[in-house]
Structure 1
């Protein structure tokens, strides 16, 4: 039987970083699989999580709970049949609603095959000061659906952030467990905790305006195209992503400056540079950079903002920092 966890959390709460930590510390005798979903079409998390010791499936371009859950069902069935994992971790998009996911996982048809363990929801307490985030139904409902709250990015908190977290904890935590973490460094044993009794999680009312139908694989280049971009909008957010072929190499310093100064809420990318692979992960002013000796098959970068940005202007600047 496969044990399943949901790891949820709003945009920029640190889900992917937490997954990387868990994968680096998973029991050596366990076979793990990851089912990851992203708001944008490009599929950045799949590239970030590739070659980390787990079987990986991506569902880009929206959230798993849309389209009657069909993308989730197909991806889930493929992983259970092909990988036969001991543990499956599902990472929905930060704009995804948890209720339909959990209902599907607990359906009678899956009971012989999976056991649903604790749902972990990551919370960056700094977001409690942002009315736009606090008023977002997905942010609220992700926290309601959680069995364990991971108060993440503790190395970045101010005294006011900690006070807001304490106020939230007194009002909403109840009997649930909360742990503090920096850089998503949590005890992997949290995954083995049982799911708590169902709580009254509201139904999702959001919907997506996708640029293409949802699929089970990230966007790819066709024919002789050197690059292409894809747009997505929904739930009062917009994204723009680009994919470049394996021959394209970026100037490392200029690429990091582009990512640092892009006037958007969220930047994620996996780029081929003259210095090797560079992973970029930016939320607001927080910028995380990782270099790896491996070479990705292509370069991908995704921007997310609370309203459509000047994607053409950002694209022009991005194209100028290619070395070839």
Structure 2
């Protein structure tokens, strides 16, 4: 029997960082698998989570619940059949709606094979001051679907953030646990908490486009192409991602400045530089940079914004900071 958790949360709430922490504290005798979905087509989280001691499957390009959940079913069935994990963690896109995913996991066909444990939803309380986020149905419904709410990034909260969190907690928390954390440092024992009784999670008003036919792997280069880009739009957001071959190297400081100054909500990437492989994670003005011990087969970066952007301008400046 595979025990399954969903770790959800809106864009920039810290899901991937939390997953990295959990993987670092995985019991040595347990076999884990990760099924990860991203809004963009390029697939940054797969690069960040690779070689962390768990089997990884990616479903890029929007909500894994689209088209009757077929991409999720395929990925889930492959993992259960091939890896036979003790625990499977599913990370939907921050713009994904949780209801169809939960319904599928609780379907009778999966009951002999999986046990659905607690759903963890990450919340950055600073987002409680952003009307645009508060009005997003996925943000609201992710919190409704949670068994445990992780109030993350506590090292960045102001007094006003804490007051807004306390007000939200009093009005909406109910019988759920709320746990404060910084950098996604949570007790792995939370994964073994039982799911609470079903709550009335609203249906999604709509999904984005159907996933790409190949579905289960992030965008790849073909032939002699040195780089390519991919676009996606949905749920009121737009994304643009680029992937570069393994011979491409970026000038370190200009690349970091490009990521810091890009006029978008969200930046994630893994880039080869003369100083080594650098992972970039930016939400708003929060920028986190880390060098990686392993070398991925390529460089890739993804931008997400709440309105259309002139991607060509950003692309021109990005291409100029290649060293070769």
Name the TM-score class by shorter chain.
Answer: over 0.9
- State yes or no: 1:299 paired with 2:286: no
- 2:280 is matched with which residue? 280
Question: TM-score normalised to the size of structure 1?
Answer: 0.99
Asked if the contact 2:66/2:211 (under 8 Å) is kept, the reply is no
Distance in structure 2 (CA, Å) of the matches to 1:266 and 1:26: 29
- 1:46 is paired with a residue of what secondary structure? helix
Residues in 1 aligned to 2:106 and 2:121: alpha-carbon distance in whole angstroms: 18
2:67–2:210 contact (8 Å) kept in structure 1: no
Instruction: Give the CA deviation at 1:16.
Output: 0.2
Hey, what's the Cα distance between the residues in 2 that align with 1:177 and 1:313? 45
Offset at residue 209 of structure 1 (A): 3.8
Q: CA deviation at 1:206?
A: 2.2
Whole-Å Cα distance in 2 between the matches of residues 210 and 63 of structure 1?
9
TM-score by length of 2: 0.99
Are the equivalent residues in 2 in contact too, given 1:2–1:87 (CA < 8 A)? yes
- Counting only pairs closer than 5 Å after superposition, residues 228-243 of structure 1 correspond to structure 2 as 228-243=228-243
Q: Which runs of 4+ in 1 moved over 3 A?
A: 209-214
1:245 aligned to 2:245? Answer: yes
Matches within 5 A, 1:169-318: 169-209=169-209, 212-213=212-213, 215-318=215-318
Counting only pairs closer than 5 Å after superposition, residues 52-63 of structure 1 correspond to structure 2 as 52-63=52-63
Pair 1:251–1:69, CA change in 2 (3 A): same
* Two-structure CA RMSD over aligned residues (Å): 0.9
Residue 30 of structure 1 is matched in structure 2 by 30
Maintained 8 Å contact 1:148/1:177: yes
Query: Is the partner of 1:104 in helix, strand or coil?
Result: helix
- 1:138-195 deviation line (CA, Å, top 9, x unaligned): 0000000000000000000000000000000000000100000000000000000000
SS in 1 for 2:259: helix
- Taking a change above 3 Å as real, the CA distance of residues 273 and 9 of structure 1, as seen in their structure-2 partners, is same
Other structure's SS at 1:208 match: coil
SS of the residue corresponding to residue 314 of structure 1 reads helix
- 2: CA distance between counterparts of 1:172 and 1:52? 35
Q: Show the counterpart of 1:125.
A: 125
Mapped pair 1:8 → 2:2: no
Alpha-carbon distance in structure 2 between the residues aligned to 1:199 and 1:207 = 21
Q: What is the SS of the residue equivalent to 2:169?
A: helix
- Give aligned pairs, total: 324
In 1, distance between residues paired with 2:295 and 2:16? 20
Q: Distance in 2 between matches of 1:31 and 1:211?
A: 29
Alignment correspondent of 1:44: 44
For the residue of structure 1 that corresponds to 2:35, the secondary structure is strand
- In structure 1, C-alpha distance between the alignment counterparts of 2:216 and 2:144, rounded to whole Å: 28
Please list every run of 5 or more consecutive structure 2 residues that lacks an aligned counterpart in the other structure.
none
Unmatched tracts of structure 1, length 5 or more: none
